[in-house]
C-alpha cells in the first residue's frame, strides 16, 4: 500500500523573536533561518521517515531544488513533483522564545496545479492506496473527487481552513486530521468533547483525529473514542508538530497498529519534533522514535 501526498512545499523564513509581534508593533529578530517546509512536504517527510512508501506530488518554482532535495533525502519519491515558472511557496514564521509560532503563507507554485496534471498522477496509483491532502494547494475539491473515484482512501487535513473547505464533498474522506480551531469551524460547536462527537455524527464512516495542543489528542472511530496526553518536553519550535503527528499516525495505522497505539506513536514523534528548530528538519526518524524515552 502506497501513500500519495498531494501537498504544499514551502521555503520557510523563520525569524527568532522574543514574542509574536502585535499589531502596529515593530520588533527586532535575533536570527533568520531558512528551512524547507510546507504542510505537504512535512507530512511526506514524516511518513517516509516512519517507514512508509511515500510519493509526493505538487509544484515548486525555479527556486525549489532544496525542497526536492529534502524529500529525496528522507526517502520520498519526487517523480511526480513538477516545476512551475512561479516561485515556490513561502512562509514567514515568527518563532517566539517560548516556542510558539505565527505563520504567514504565500502560496506561489503550490496553487498552480491543473486538473489534467492531477488526473495523470492519480492514474498511476491503485485502488486501496492512500491519498493525503492539506489545504495549502488548489483544486482540493477536485482531488477528493478524483481520488475517491479511483478507489483511493482519502485522508484530509483541512488546514488552513477557508471557504473552499465546505464546498468539498467531505463524505468521501476516510480520515480527518483537525485541531480544535478547525474542528470548531467545521462543526460550529466548541469544546473538544463536543467537536469530536459532532464530527463523528457528521462523518459516520470516517476516522476523526482531533489534536488538542497541550491536552493531547482524541480519536473517534466506529463509535469508539480514544485519548492520549502529551509528553512533558521542552518546546523549542512547534512548527511541524502537527504534521509529524499526522505522518506518524498514518504510518502506525498502515503498519497494523491499533488506534491507541497509533496515537501513542504519533504523540511521541511529535514530542521529539518540538524539541528541535525548523519544520521538516525537526521530524525524527523511525528508530529515534522507537528508542526515545520520554517523560
pLDDT, tens digit, 9 for 90 and up, residues 100-137: 889 898 999 999 999 999 999 999 999 999 999 999 99
Q: Is 21 part of a structural domain of the chain?
A: no
CATH no. for residue 206? 3.40.1190.20
Least confident of 105-119, 164-178, 280-294: 280-294
Q: Is 23 part of a structural domain of the chain?
A: no
The span from the CA of 69 to the CA of 50, in Å, is 18
- The 3-state DSSP class for residue 15 equals strand
Tell whether the model's pLDDT for residue 281 goes beyond 90. no
> What pLDDT, on a 0 to 100 scale, did the predictor assign at position 57?
98
Residues 138/161, Cβ–Cβ less than 8 Å: no
Percent of the chain scoring above 90 in pLDDT: 87
The span from the CA of 143 to the CA of 213, in Å, is 29
Q: Is 18 part of a structural domain of the chain?
A: no
Q: What is the pLDDT of residues 181-234, one digit of tens each?
A: 999 999 999 899 999 999 999 999 999 999 998 899 999 999 999 999 989 898
Tell whether the model's pLDDT for residue 96 goes beyond 90. yes
Note the pTM of the prediction, 2 decimals: 0.93
∠ CA 168-171-177 to the nearest 5 degrees?
A: 80
Q: Is 67 part of a structural domain of the chain?
A: yes
> What pLDDT, on a 0 to 100 scale, did the predictor assign at position 99?
83
Sheet holding 89-96, edge to edge: 31-37, 10-17, 89-96, 101-106
> What pLDDT, on a 0 to 100 scale, did the predictor assign at position 101?
87
> Which DSSP category does 86 fall into?
S
Q: What is the DSSP string of 250-285?
A: HHHHHTT--HHHHHHHHHHHHHHHTTSSSSGGGPPP
End-to-end CA distance of the chain: 34
Name the packing angle between helices 115-122 and 140-150 (round to 10°).
30
C-alpha 67 chain-centroid distance: 16
1 pLDDT band, cuts 50/70/90, is: confident
> What would the mean pLDDT of 67-89 be, rounded to a whole number?
97
Q: Count of domains in the chain?
A: 1
> Which DSSP category does 33 fall into?
E
Q: Is 182 part of a structural domain of the chain?
A: yes
Residue 192's alpha-carbon distances to 100, 111, 204, 205, 245, in angstroms, are 21, 32, 17, 20, 18
Task: Give the closest residue to 5 by CA, choosing from 65, 60, 33, 45.
Answer: 45
**Which range of residues forms the domain containing residue 245?**
3-9+37-88+108-291
Least confident of 40-44, 176-180, 237-241: 237-241
Q: Is 237 part of a structural domain of the chain?
A: yes
Residues 7/132, Cβ–Cβ less than 8 Å: yes
Q: Is 93 part of a structural domain of the chain?
A: no
Place of cell 473552499: 164
Q: Which three cell numbers stand for residue 10?
A: 514551502
Q: Is 225 part of a structural domain of the chain?
A: yes
Amino acid at each position: 500500500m502506497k501513500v500519495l501526498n498531494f501537498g504544499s512545499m514551502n521555503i520557510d523564513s523563520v525569524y527568532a523573536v522574543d514574542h509574536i509581534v502585535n499589531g502596529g508593533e515593530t520588533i527586532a529578530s535575533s536570527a533568520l533561518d531558512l528551512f524547507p517546509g510546507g504542510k505537504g512536504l512535512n507530512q511526506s517527510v514524516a511518513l517516509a521517515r516512519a517507514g512508509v512508501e511515500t510519493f509526493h506530488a505538487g509544484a515548486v518554482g525555479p527556486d525549489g531544488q532544496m525542497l526536492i532535495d529534502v524529500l529525496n533525502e528522507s526517502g520520498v519519491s519526487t517523480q511526480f513533483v513538477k516545476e512551475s515558472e512561479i516561485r515556490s511557496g513561502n512562509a514567514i514564521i515568527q518563532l517566539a522564545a517560548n516556542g510558539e509560532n505565527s505563520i504567514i503563507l504565500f502560496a506561489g507554485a503550490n496553487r498552480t496545479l491543473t486538473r489534467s496534471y492531477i488526473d495523470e498522477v492519480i492514474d498511476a496509483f491503485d485502488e486501496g492506496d492512500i491519498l493525503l491532502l492539506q489545504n495549502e494547494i488548489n483544486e482540493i475539491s477536485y482531488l477528493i473527487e478524483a481520488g475517491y473515484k479511483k478507489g483511493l482512501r482519502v485522508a484530509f487535513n483541512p488546514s488552513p481552513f477557508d471557504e473552499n473547505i465546505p464546498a468539498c464533498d467531505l463524505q468521501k474522506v476516510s480520515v480527518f486530521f483537525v485541531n480544535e480551531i478547525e474542528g470548531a469551524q467545521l462543526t460550529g460547536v466548541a469544546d473538544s468533547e463536543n467537536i469530536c462527537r459532532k464530527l463523528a455524527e457528521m462523518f459516520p464512516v470516517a476516522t476523526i483525529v482531533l489534536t488538542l495542543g497541550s491536552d493531547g489528542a482524541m480519536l473517534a472511530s466506529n463509535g469508539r473514542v480514544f485519548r492520549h496526553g502529551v509528553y512533558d518536553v521542552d518546546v523549542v519550535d512547534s512548527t511541524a508538530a502537527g504534521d509529524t503527528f499526522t505522518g506518524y499516525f498514518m504510518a502506525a495505522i498502515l503498519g497494523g497498529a491499533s488506534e491507541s497505539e497509533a496515537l501513542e506513536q504519533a504523540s511521541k514523534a511529535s514530542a521529539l519534533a518540538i524539541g528541535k528548530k525548523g519544520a521538516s528538519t525537526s521530524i525524527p526518524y523511525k528508530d529515534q522514535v522507537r528508542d526515545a524515552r520520554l517523560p
